[in-house]
Each structure stands twice: as C-alpha cells, then as structure tokens.
Structure 1
Amino acid sequence: MALKTEHLKEAKAALKSMSARREKKLTKADFVAGLIQDIHAKMTAGFSLEEICAELNKTLPDGEQLNMNTFKTYVRRARTQAGIAPTRAWTRRTGPTEPKIQTTPDKGRTKVQKEDPASDFRDQGGDL
C-alpha cells in the first residue's frame, strides 16, 4: 500500500507540534565537565580536590552526592577533553631514573641480552 501525500503533511505537522527539545538529564560526568573551568581555577588558587568536592556536594541533592574517587576521575577526564593541563605533576621524581640493568663481564652483554643456553652448544667450526 502506497502512502498518500496527506500522510506526509500530517507527519510534518506532527513533527512541528513537538516541543523544541526535551530536557536532557544531566549526568554527574556532564556536571563536572560543565564546571571544569571553575574547578581548575579553584585548584590553581590553592584549593584541594577534596575541598572542591565537598563544596559541590553541598549543592547536590541527597543521593546524588559525588564520591571522591569518582570526582577525581571525572575531573581528570573533563580536563583531558577540555585540553587543560594538570596543575601539578603526579609523580615525585625529580629527574630521569637510573636504568636497573647493569652489564656483566659475560661477553659485554646485559642480563636481558644474554642468549639462551641452546646457543652455547653450536658448532665451533672444528671436526668432531
């Protein structure tokens, strides 16, 4: 059965009568992402993530509070998406680390480069 042009007109009228946009439910990750510029500003001002999270939890209804570990994850993800660098480095290293592999007197090879034992029994080029 083919559709008639009046069906097309009714469908267009139905689409026009729909509201512009249904209100989208905001997730906690979206909530943090929307505030990431302000959160970053507070962090550069010297506030810790724990203090910021506690302050944000005061504004949220019961049952919708942010867990601290989850909040840190959301902040890290929102920072990455917004292209904001962390306020401090997460590592305590001050310089490059020393390599832990040391050379051995064995043919000048390191422990990692040492050949497997099967290669020690190769033909030495002499008669047996």
Structure 2
Amino acid sequence: MLIVDDEPHIGRIIRTRLEQDGFIVYLAEQGQEALAILHQHPSIALVLLDLMMPGMSGIDVLRVMRADVRWATLPCIVLTAAGQDAQLREAEALGVSEIMTKPFSPRRLLSRVQAYTAPAAALSADPSQC
C-alpha cells in the first residue's frame, strides 16, 4: 500500500495504524516520490492519495497512474480537505475508487482499506508483495 500526503504527521499516523493491522506501507510526501515508489514496487495493491500537495498535485499523480496500463485500475482512495469540489469531480472522472474527507475516522479508513485489499490481505514479510 502507498500513502501519498505532504503532511508528514498525517502520513505517519495512517502508516502506523495500517502497519499495526499487518499491512506493508510505503509513504511518499510528494507526487514524483509516489510515482517512483510505484515503479519500484509494482505489486502495490492500493494508493491513499491526498489531492492538495505542492508541485505535483494528487490529481497529477492520478492522471499519470490512469494513463499507465500498470496502474490504470489500481484502487485509489482520495483523502482530502472539504471544499475542493472541482478537484473532486476531476478525481471521480479519473476513476478514483473512493473519496474520504479529512478529518476522517481511522476505523472507517481501515474498513475501506480492508475492503479494497481483501484478496491481498494475506501478507508476507517481503515488502514487494504489498
């Protein structure tokens, strides 16, 4: 799983919670870094993506993902602040799996992550198998 959020404390909180539940998690604070991680770990099963990031936005990351056959259907949950209607419509048009508004319930996030990763929930110790 890949978390992309430019607010390090949010990414770390989410990562810690998901790792406690047995998920292997990569964390990126910038769009380019997220794409590099996807290239390095092609078996990533889910992306949690913030839309508002400096430089390469979450929408830009999503556009690149959807244009690449390897990630065209990769489940992606957008985590975003309220009031970004135009960006949310664009994310929906790009095939985002789900949108969760910040602040969100950690329990609900875990439930949604489990729903999207259920077939891949049996993890090994090898991070390339996420």
Fold shared per TM-score above 0.5: no
TM-score, normalised to structure 2, is 0.22
Name the larger-Rg structure: 1
**Larger strand proportion of the pair:** 2
TM-score, normalised to structure 1, is 0.22
